[in-house]
Amino acid sequence: MEAVLPVEVEIPSLRILSQTQLEEAEWAQARYEQLNFIDEKRLAALCHGQLYQRRIERAYNKKARPRTFQPGDLVLKKRNMALSDPRGKVRTII
């Protein structure tokens, strides 16, 4: 029995398939199935990412309080001014 690298077992290449003496039609069918499987995995990953974003959005929206402002309301305004240090370092004042 010949030792085969795990990569070669997982992702069959044309060389590996020719060594196992698969016919070209079988090889094409196997490759087509692999491509379909990749598309399914991509779609599953996309759905998972969207579910994760919705979950994070809901958690954020639970904590965020809606606020309405009318003209003339007093609000606290913060100004971030960048101060330059003589040594070249820049820092902000809050």
What pLDDT, in 10s, does the model give residues 7-20?
555 556 666 656 66
What's residue 26's pLDDT? Answer: 79
Using DSSP's 3-state secondary structure scheme, residue 23 falls into: coil
Tally the domains of the chain: 1
- Per-residue pLDDT of 67-80, as tens digits, reads 899 999 998 887 76
Q: What number of helices (H) and strands (E) belong to the chain?
A: 3, 2
3-state secondary structure 43-72: HHHHHHHHHHHHHHHHHHHHHCCCCCCCCC
Instruction: Write out the residue range of the structural domain in which residue 59 sits.
Output: 6-71
Residue 29 within any structural domain of the chain: yes
